């Protein structure tokens, strides 16, 4: 199949390169940090976006996250403020699942829209110190001060072919544009394979990649009101439900916590849950000893369709990014950007 799709991959790659070369770029009056990837599918970039935003806030500065808002259901596609400095202003279908989830997780403005320049204009009222472009590596219209690219160690480049024959958005040589490469899920990768991936990245970028993995920050009920100890679930049967780019990552975290997985219910990324989906999930959790675990991204969508019974069964695993190597390097790079803005 990949041989049949190869000509389309060549055309896709050519158009992408031409688009990048011909697109006129503009520079904002505030520094820009982009977090993106070179592949289609989950690479662990959202936890990195949140980590950078939280670090900027810890320095007494104000970040603004600019996201395209993939899979929004708002037909107008207008740029909207999902969150201001204090509260959420939009509904999930207007914002998209990931931006809405980020708006719940971090105390800074989040703005969505295809036109990031317009989003930046809307953000001026918040006096931002830095813009963080979510999924911005292939967004050619804005100059950026730092490009951070996330690469999934479990499946870094697929078959090394560009879409549609492979999972690459661009050729691996595009990593040369990155200021920092973060190798995610590094704790789940065999040492020999990890070294091979690191050598390939170094050969392209001349820089050593940072090593990271997703880690459990806390477990809450469906509403996020109460934190629950992992020990509470040791003797429970767990039904895993998710619609994320890398469901195996979520499964591995649950397994590492020592949970007993009874059933895995996995939907495609950005899936919109229906009443039927909720009923099917509830049918798997009729036993008193059974609980449902999902991600924060999924919980914000399930809350619209789950009945009271299911909501009481659902627990949310909130994840963050942890670094095996390179956190200080990342923070120093962000500090440099912030001082440049000042």
Residues 121 and 172 in one domain: yes
Per-residue model confidence (pLDDT) at position 335? 96
Residues 120 and 22 in one domain: yes
Residues 63 and 106 in one domain: yes
CATH number at residue 292: 3.40.50
Residues 108 and 234 in one domain: no
Rounded to an integer, what distance in angstroms lies between the CA atom of residue 97 and that of residue 167?
22
pLDDT per residue as tens, the chain (342 positions) = 566 666 777 776 667 777 777 777 888 999 999 999 999 877 889 999 999 999 999 999 999 999 988 778 765 578 999 999 999 999 888 898 899 999 999 999 999 998 999 999 999 999 999 999 999 999 888 999 999 999 999 899 999 998 888 899 999 999 999 999 999 989 888 999 999 999 999 999 999 999 998 887 789 998 877 899 999 998 899 999 999 887 888 888 888 888 989 999 999 988 999 999 999 999 999 999 999 999 998 998 998 899 999 999 999 998 889 999 999 999 999 999 999 765
Residues 134 and 250 in one domain: no
Per-residue model confidence (pLDDT) at position 317? 92
Residues 56 and 169 in one domain: yes
CATH number at residue 143: 3.40.50.300
- 189, 125, 120: which is closest to 151 by C-alpha? 189
Please give the structure tokens belonging to residue 248. 């195996």
- Domain that residue 243 falls in: 217-318
Residues 76 and 11 in one domain: yes
Please give the structure tokens belonging to residue 320. 């963050």
Residues 150 and 294 in one domain: no
Residues 331 and 264 in one domain: no
**CB count, 10 Å around CB of 105?**
21
Per-residue model confidence (pLDDT) at position 6? 65
Please give the tally of structural domains in the chain. 2
- 268, 70, 43, 35: which is closest to 168 by C-alpha? 43
Per-residue model confidence (pLDDT) at position 20? 73
Residues 119 and 191 in one domain: yes
* Burial label, 241 (beta-carbon count in 10 A; 0-12, 13-18, 19+): buried
């Amino acid at each position: 199949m990949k041989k049949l799709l190869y000509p389309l991959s060549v055309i896709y790659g050519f158009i992408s390169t031409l688009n990048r070369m011909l697109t006129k770029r503009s520079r904002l009056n505030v520094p820009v940090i982009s977090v993106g990837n070179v592949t289609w599918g989950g690479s662990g970039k959202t936890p990195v976006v949140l980590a950078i935003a939280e670090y900027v806030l810890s320095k007494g500065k104000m970040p603004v996250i600019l996201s395209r808002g993939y899979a929004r259901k708002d037909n107008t596609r207008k740029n909207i403020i999902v969150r201001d400095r204090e509260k959420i202003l939009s509904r999930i279908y207007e914002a998209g699942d990931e931006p809405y989830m980020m708006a719940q997780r971090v105390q800074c403005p989040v703005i969505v829209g295809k036109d990031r320049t317009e989003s930046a204009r809307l953000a001026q009222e918040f006096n931002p110190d830095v813009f963080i472009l979510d999924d911005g590596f292939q967004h050619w219209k804005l100059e950026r001060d730092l490009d951070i690219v996330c690469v999934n160690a479990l499946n870094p480049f697929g078959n090394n072919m560009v879409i549609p024959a492979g999972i690459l958005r661009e050729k691996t040589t595009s990593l040369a544009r990155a200021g920092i490469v973060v190798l995610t899920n590094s704790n789940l990768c065999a040492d020999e394979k990890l070294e091979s991936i690191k050598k390939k990245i170094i050969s392209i970028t001349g820089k050593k990649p940072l090593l990271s993995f997703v880690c459990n920050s806390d477990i809450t009920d469906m509403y996020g009101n109460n934190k629950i100890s992992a020990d509470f679930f040791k003797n429970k049967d767990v039904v895993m439900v998710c619609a994320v780019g890398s469901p195996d990552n979520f499964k591995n975290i649950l397994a590492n916590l020592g949970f007993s997985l009874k059933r895995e219910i996995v939907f495609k990324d950005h899936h919109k849950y229906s009443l039927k989906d909720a009923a099917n999930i509830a049918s798997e959790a009729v036993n008193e000893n059974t609980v449902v675990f999902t991600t924060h991204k999924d919980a914000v969508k399930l809350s619209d369709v789950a009945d009271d019974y299911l909501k009481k069964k659902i627990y949310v695993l909130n994840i963050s990014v942890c670094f095996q190597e390179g956190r200080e390097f990342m923070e120093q790079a962000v500090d440099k950007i912030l001082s440049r803005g000042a």
